[in-house]
Chains A and B, each alone.
Chain A
Amino acid sequence: MIKSIFNPIFISHYSYLFWIIIGVNLLMILIIFILGYKESKK
Chain B
Amino acid sequence: MFFYNKRIVKKNIGCYTFNSDDIMKIINTLKTKNLASGYLYFYVHLITEVASFYYLSKVTNGAHFIWLIPFIYDALAFVPQGIIGYINDKIPKLNMGLIGVILFMLAYILYIIKFPYIFLVLIIVSLANAFLHVSGAEVTLRSSNGKLSHPAIFVGGGSFGVIAGRLLATTSISPWLIVFLVLTMIPFILLAEGYTKKNKTCLYDCASKKINPYLIIMLATFVVIIRGYIGYGIPTSWNKTTLQTVFLFSTMGLGKCLGGILADAYGVKRIGIISALLAIPFLLFGDNLMMVSLIGVMFFSMTMSITLALIVSVLKDKPGLAFGFTTVGLFLGTIPIFFISITNKILNASMIVVASIICALIFNIIIKEEKVYS
State the A residues within 8 Å of B (CB). 1-7, 10-11, 13-14, 17-18, 21-22, 25, 28-29, 31-32, 35-37, 39-41
Contact = CB atoms under 8 A, between A and B. Distances in A.
Given A6-B339, A17-B72, A35 B86 contact: yes
Contacts of B324: 32
Interface string B312-332: 001100100100110010011
A35 B65 contact: no
Nearest to A4: B340
Contacts of B213: 40-41
Contacts of A25: 75, 79, 331
A22 B80 CA distance: 12
B217 A11 contact: no
A5 B70 CA distance: 14
B82 A32 contact: yes
Which secondary structure characterizes the binding site on chain B?
helix
B83 A10 contact: no
Interface string B35-76: 000000000000000000000000000001111100110011
A31 B328 CA distance: 11
B208 to A, nearest CB: 14
Given A11-B68, A39-B318, A21 B339 contact: no
Contact of B83 (A2, A3, A14, A31): A31
Contacts of A21: 71-72, 75-76
Interface residues of B, number: 35
B131 to A, nearest CB: 15
Contacts of A10: 64-68
A18 B72 CA distance: 8
Nearest to A7: B67
Contacts of B217: 36, 40
A6 B315 contact: no
Nearest to B213: A40
Contact of A13 (B65, B75, B339): B65
A5 B75 contact: no
B341 A40 contact: no
Contacts of A6: 338-340
Interface in B294-336: 314-315, 318, 321, 324-325, 328, 331-332
B342 A2 contact: yes
B230 to A, nearest CB: 15
11 contacts: A2-B342, A2-B347, A6-B339, A7-B67, A10-B65, A10-B67, A17-B119, A25-B331, A29-B79, A32-B321, A39-B318
B344 interface: yes
A37 to B, nearest CB: 5
B171 interface: no
Contact of A3 (B214, B318, B341): B341
Contacts of A2: 340-344, 347
B339 A4 contact: yes
A32 B328 CA distance: 9
A18 B71 CA distance: 9
Nearest to B324: A32
B65 A3 contact: no
A27 B343 CA distance: 33
A28 B315 CA distance: 18
Given A4-B340, A5-B339, A21-B72, A28 B79 contact: yes
Question: Top 5 A-B pairs ranked by shortest CB distance?
Answer: A32-B82, A10-B67, A40-B213, A1-B344, A6-B339
A38 to B, nearest CB: 10
